[in-house]
Structure formats: structure tokens, C-alpha cells
Chains A and B, each alone.
Chain A
């Protein structure tokens, strides 16, 4: 009896299997039992929202994003749009400056150097300028490297060396961000009073700043071009700082879409600012005779001041004449 038991069991199982499965196999088409809530698909969800989000057991909010196809648009921006914007802005500016140099040459002090110098920027002002300038140049070069390096330097250096360079560039970018932000704040504080737009600027701009010929229009301590540079540094610097901080502390202020936008703003604005400041660097060094002294030694030649900042010079000389205000002008040598 006992030995026959398995056979009976197997036979019973086989019979019941046949009885239960055969009708369902024969009944065509088989009517499905759809899951509660109907079918759910990625396509359908992505039509409603730009990303699919859910609940995740991991205590990390960013892990709850299942699919974010926006990453692909970010890629297109980053690999196609951004290099074009940056390339056209920066190379375009270099071409413009080169053409200007070939056309006008170095802008000379027309009446020659007088040999008398007047203090234009005090030591602290020069410190603030160079603090910001050095940080900006380092940030710009390391930033450009992370965008264009793989097309420009990587083929020349090879993967290992380029990666080593870029990782130090990343550290430099992260750390020099702080002196840059401090510099932008200080620039705003020390120079805002001289950079409010007024009628003199309108006239200066109408005459093209004398850059296109026709004599130098009158200007105060800062001409309209310099005021534009000031506001580019301050406003651009603030937006660069805010977007940069968003990227520097990932996911602490923004989620994935916010980080993508921050990167987009940061990269485009930075490249436009590089283009603008190339012009600033040009006119402050090669482009204009006597201009570098203002930020170098802090003292400019009297004739240079007369030519480019006549209203400021008059004001300074008036101050120097009235004894209670103290003298800021000092004869050189």
C-alpha cells in the first residue's frame, strides 16, 4: 500500500493539472486580469511630468527620481550649444580686439607723458582689483579647461596627464571661488559711488568713448565703458557666485533639474564674462598707453588723466588746492 502511494499522488496531480489547464488553454482569446489601477507605463507618466519620481527606501531624496529625460537635453546643451556660444563669444572678441589693434594701434597719450603723476587707485583699491582679477583668471582658465579641454588639451597631453591637470583645476576652481566672491563684494562696496550712470556717460557712449576717433569725450573717475565693466563684474559676479554655490554644494539647495539649470547659467554667463573681460584686459594693457599704471603703481600721468578722465582730474586738483581736504596728488620724481 505504502509503495503505491506516490503513483496515486502523481496520477492525481496530472489529472487535476489537465482538468484545470486544458479549458484555459482552449478558451481563446484568454481574458486577462489587468492589475488594479490599469496599465502604468513610463511614456504615459513622462507625458504628464518631466521626470518620474517615486518612493525609495534609501534615505537620499535624489535617489527617488526614476527617469529624468531632461538629462539628454542638458547633454545637448553642454556638448553642442555651450561650446558654440563660448567659442563665438571668446574667439569673436579676440578677433574684434585684433582688428581694432590693427586699425587704431595702441592708443597714445596725445600730448606725451608730462612726468607728473597723480594717484588714481589707493593700495586697498588695487588689492581688491587684483584679488578679483587673479581669482577670475584662474577660475576662467580652469572653467574653460573643463568645457573645452577635452577637445584642445586632451589630444595633446593624453588621458593620464590631462586628468591630473583637470583634477587640480577642479580643486583650484572650488577654492579660488571664495576670494573671487569676496572680491566682487569689495568691488561693489568701494566703487559703487563712482559707478552710478549719469548724463556724462550718455555723452561718452554717444561718442563711442573716443575709441572710433573724434577725440576723447569728457569722463569722470570712471567712464561709461568702465562702468559697464563694473556692473558686469558685480552683477555677473553675483549670478556666477550664486549658481556656483549651487554647484559647489550638490543637492543642498537644488534638486537635479535645479543643478542642471545652475550649470547652464554658470557656464554661459562665465563664457560671456570671459569675452567681456578680455576687452577690459586689452584696453588696460596693450590697448592704451599709460593705462596699466593706474592698477600697477596706482599713479597715472597727468596728461593721461587729462585726456581720459578730465572731470575727475579737475575734481582731484580742486581737492588738492583746498587744504582741509588734504592732497591726493603727488608729483613723481
Chain B
């Protein structure tokens, strides 16, 4: 069994936002929801880096721990998914998530949130694999089709890597050795309590 993870090589990301677009298109994400986003730090200054960020599918996910209705579950592949039927839109997972992954459509009075939506690692939700109900609620289930998330597959510079953690770390390490530098695996310490020596 693989342990699915994302790794963004900040020294390669050119902030083209193709991953964001690919995600929105593959999953038909509702307006106003961004399952993936690209953030540029030190913008316009030396040391500028862009990082594509979405749900990191943490080991011991904080969202799962704080959910008052226990609507999260983690698959055998390590992918963190949730049930929109159980979600009450309280917002706790957003407070706990270190990566700002959970999003809520605004549905009613005050700031009342609708059912939470987040990156599913292109692997749907609790509904039957590849069913219409699953697509409407959670988007594509590419994992069930034997494919990886579209954001990483589409990445033009192969900055965003998706797949089994050990394999993508190996790819990243080879790159770092070859080019002689690397800014590390962004968010890995926070998400997996793991640092990639570079």
C-alpha cells in the first residue's frame, strides 16, 4: 500500500497556476472554492519562491481530530477524506488545519458556512467509486481509475509531485543532489513530522 503525499519543489514552481486550474476543472469545484492555491513568498525580492499548496493529507490529521461530528476518515493510502452528509460546516477544521485546506461555500445568514470542501487527492468521497453522486459532491476519483491527482500530472515543470511518499522523496532528493540545492519539502514537517535533508 502506498502512502500518498504531495511534494512541491519550490525551486521549480513558476507560479503558472495550472495546478489550480486543473484542479478546478477536474473536480468541477464550485465558484469561490480553491482546493489548491499557489502562494508566492518574498514576492519581487531575492529569495522569491512559489509553492503550490492544498490539503497535505497529514499523518494524524488535525481536521479529523477536531471535527465535532467525526466526519473525516483516512484511507489505506493515507488520503484524508470527509463526508459532506455529516459535515455541519462549523469551521473547526479550518482553524486546526496548518495549510488552510478546508473551504466553505457561503450558504445562509451571517457567516454560516455550507458543507466543507477540500482537496480529495482526486479520490472522491465515501460514495461508491466513480458514481455520479460522488462526482457531484467531491469531484473526480482519479485514484480509482489508477491515475494520480491532475494538479501534479499537469504540472509543466514537474514541481508538484504526487504519489507514494517514498518515491516522490527519492525523485526530489535526486534532483537536489544533481542541481546542488533545494529548499526542502514544504509543509512536510508540519504534516508528516518529517524533514527532507537537502
CB <8 Å contact, A68 and B40:
no
CB <8 Å contact, B110 and A248:
yes
Chain A residues contacting B70 (CB-CB under 8 Å) are 150, 154, 159
Chain B residues contacting A75 (CB-CB under 8 Å) are 62, 65-66, 96
Within 8 A of A (CB), among B152-198: 178-184, 186-187, 189-190, 195, 198
Contact (A248, B38) CB under 8 Å given A40-B49, A67-B98, A67-B186: no
Determine chain B's interface SS by DSSP, over half rule.
Answer: loop
Say which one of B81-89, B116-124, B127-135, B136-144 lies at the interface with A: B81-89
Chain B residues contacting A69 (CB-CB under 8 Å) are 98, 190
A13 within 8 A of B: no
CB <8 Å contact, B184 and A43:
yes
Q: In the complex, how many residues of chain A place their beta carbon closer than 8 angstroms to a beta carbon of chain B?
A: 63
| Bound Cα distance A43, B45 (Å) | 19
CB <8 Å contact, A79 and B65:
yes
A260 within 8 A of B: yes
Q: Which of A32, A251, A259 has the most CB of B within 10 A?
A: A32
- Of B68, B100, B109, B195, which contacts A256 at CB under 8 A? B100
Chain B residues contacting A250 (CB-CB under 8 Å) are 91, 111, 113
| Bound Cα distance A33, B181 (Å) | 8
Chain A residues contacting B95 (CB-CB under 8 Å) are 71, 74, 78, 256, 259-260, 263
- Of B96, B182, B190, which contacts A74 at CB under 8 A? B96
Chain B residues contacting A41 (CB-CB under 8 Å) are 183-184, 198
CB <8 Å contact, A79 and B100:
no
CB <8 Å contact, B40 and A56:
yes
A10 within 8 A of B: no
- Extra contacts besides A35-B47, A72-B190, A145-B68 (15): CB < 8 Å: A30-B178, A42-B184, A42-B186, A43-B189, A54-B40, A54-B41, A55-B41, A63-B39, A67-B190, A70-B98, A71-B95, A71-B97, A75-B62, A78-B96, A154-B70
Sampled A-B contacts (5; CB under 8 Å): A31-B180, A37-B46, A75-B66, A154-B69, A167-B89
